[in-house]
Structure 1
């Protein structure tokens, strides 16, 4: 499979080059030249396959001969070694739990797959791979654990000071070995801007072999399609063949992967883009004007993105039919008060605890179901992080019912190690050059 830049559709690179270069020099994002449509027999019988079997089939169709089938199966078996169940809350409402991986967030799918793909492609004697990643919360922890101890790699994580939860920060800053953390005195957008500028800086690229672990990397996007197919497979087992997905959305990689799955033939009736106060995309879907704006801090911090990078991928998917985009995606946004109300409502209705991001997805689904009455359609909202990662958000009656996993208790006994930097690129560049 070949890949092109969204800023130059005539360009062509291999999957390996797209993974290692991460972002083209023209500042676009890589997309597959062709998006294969999976055969109806596979789609209609998804319920007869396991998650690893589904993942291998989807990946093989996307990547073609870039990785031999047996090698790809081995990578997936190692990377996706946890489950992602859908849980029924009411007759037409299910939650897709994506927090059963090592970092307790959905980003384990992308980070673990990508780290193993990079390790697979790295050859003996090659220059060390320097992975730069900006995080608004969960990406950094998933990437840190995904790459921890991977030979010939070093990961530098940039996160916004004071804008991630205590547990998220511990996941970023307590790893040591080949993982280092930079605490940036700014927003996620500032962190992301520093990473993007580094990729186009000649001096840094001459000295280091830079790549990204953010969702701008195509190797992060591909494995996120797996759980959409798998969720549909589980719905089929429940006798449900008509589904809509409500997706907590920040940098729009998650819903972008769902739309890629739809392009491959997954029969999804609607995607709901659920955001917090950073509502650039919902406003675009309502008014037709795309206006990025500075991000604002919210309780759902992993979604605090005012200029989502992956929107260019979504626009590219529908470049030949922009009208279809507006038909397929509905946007909803909620402020912190509405988020807290949703957390309480979910607990009161189901005795089920959701993180702030998940609460927004649930509320968006319920609003959509009230606005659009469709019979025989099940709504699946994505639970993107374990609620224990946000202990300060919950009232005591809910907090008392959160089970804290053992790995979190282990984190709390470790010491934070990070370097504080400002938002100026020269300061970031100087740090990289002086800390080879």
Structure 2
């Protein structure tokens, strides 16, 4: 597998190099030189395969000979050892539960696969691998658990002060060992900018072996394609062939993975990018003008991104052709009041408790259906995190229905430890240099 930079189509690097370097020095993002189509027989018979078997077929098609067959199978079986059920709510509506991994968020797919790939490539005696990650909520917890105890690695997680839920903060700040948390007096975009500046800094790159665990790392994106194929397999068993995915979108890695799956041959009728008031992409698709803005804090905090990094990848998948992109991708935005109404509507209609991100994806499905009343596709909205992570969002009658998983109860007795920093890059650089 060879990859290029979105800023330099002539660049060629191996998968291993892209995994460890995360981002090219030209500040682009790595993309596969070739996106091969999956075997048509595999797609036609996909309902016969398990999630790990589907994951292996997809990964092997993309990675080719980067990792030997048996080693790749072992990585997948270890990393993807939980389910992602498409739960039927009515005849044409399904919620894809992506929160059954250890951190209770969809980020477990990417973080666990990436950590195991990095551990596989790391050799004894090599320089310590410094993993930098910015999080708006769930990425940090998934990365922390994915890398906790992985030899020869150190993880630094940056998160915005006061803008993650209390449970998310516990997941970031109570690990110890090779995981350290940094509370930044700013927004997620500020955290993300600090990480990107670190990768572009010559002195830091000379002293440290830096890589990213954010979705800018291609090894985070690849495993997120697995659950799109697996969902299609589940729906195909029930007689569906036309599928619409509604994806809660912040940094646009999740829907980017879905579109990569589409390019690999997954037959998807429509993708809906559902955002909160951080609506850079919906505005772009409506006006044709791509204009980022400072992020705004909302109930759906993991989507509070004003400058989504992965949008450049999505545009690259469509060779910059916005008209072609718009044939496949629709986007809607919803504010906090609408989000709360969505939570209540899902509870009332289906007796199902959805986190705020999931509620936004549901609202987007409903809006799409209102605009396309004759569409009879299976509509799948992605549930990206367990509702227990957002206890303060729900009305009491809904909050009382939420069961707290055992692993979260154990966190409450642990002490929080986080270093505090401003959004100034020099302060972050000094922090890293002082180790």
Give the aligned partner of residue 306 of structure 1: 306
Which 5+ residue runs of structure 2 have no aligned equivalent?
Answer: none
Matched, 1:236 2:236: yes
Matched, 1:326 2:312: no
Query: Distance between the aligned counterparts of 2:183 and 2:163, measured in 1?
Result: 10
Output aligned runs, 1:147-166, within 5 Å.
147-166=147-166
The secondary structure found in structure 2 opposite 1:391 is coil
Matched, 1:417 2:417: yes
Query: Distance between the aligned counterparts of 2:369 and 2:216, measured in 1?
Result: 32
Q: Shift of residue 323 of structure 1?
A: 1.6
Q: What TM-score do you get using the length of structure 2 for normalisation? A: 0.99
TM-superposition CA deviations, 1:100-131 (whole Å, max 9, x none):
00000000000000000000000111000000
* Contact 2:421-2:428 at 8 Å conserved across structures: yes
Q: Which moved more, 1:39-48 or 1:105-114?
A: 39-48
Output aligned runs, 1:11-410, within 5 Å.
11-319=11-319, 321-410=321-410
* Contact 2:6-2:313 at 8 Å conserved across structures: yes
Q: Shift of residue 39 of structure 1?
A: 1.8
* Contact 2:5-2:29 at 8 Å conserved across structures: yes
Which 5+ residue runs of structure 1 have no aligned equivalent?
Answer: none
The secondary structure found in structure 1 opposite 2:392 is helix
Query: Distance between the aligned counterparts of 2:60 and 2:374, measured in 1?
Result: 35
Segments ≥4 residues shifted beyond 6 Å? none
What is the root-mean-square deviation of aligned Cα atoms in Å?
0.7
Query: Distance between the aligned counterparts of 2:166 and 2:413, measured in 1?
Result: 13
Q: What TM-score do you get using the length of structure 1 for normalisation? A: 0.99
Query: Distance between the aligned counterparts of 1:43 and 1:293, measured in 2?
Result: 40
Query: Distance between the aligned counterparts of 2:115 and 2:297, measured in 1?
Result: 30
* Contact 2:157-2:182 at 8 Å conserved across structures: yes
Q: Shift of residue 320 of structure 1?
A: 6.0
The secondary structure found in structure 2 opposite 1:393 is coil
Q: Which moved more, 1:278-287 or 1:321-330?
A: 321-330
Q: Shift of residue 413 of structure 1?
A: 1.0
TM-superposition CA deviations, 1:236-257 (whole Å, max 9, x none):
0111111000000000000000
Query: Distance between the aligned counterparts of 2:44 and 2:248, measured in 1?
Result: 27
| Residues 1:122 and 1:228: Cα distance change in structure 2 (over 3 Å) | same
| Residues 1:327 and 1:60: Cα distance change in structure 2 (over 3 Å) | same
TM-superposition CA deviations, 1:57-116 (whole Å, max 9, x none):
000000000001111000000000000000011111100000000000000000000000
Q: Shift of residue 36 of structure 1?
A: 0.6
Give the aligned partner of residue 428 of structure 1: 428
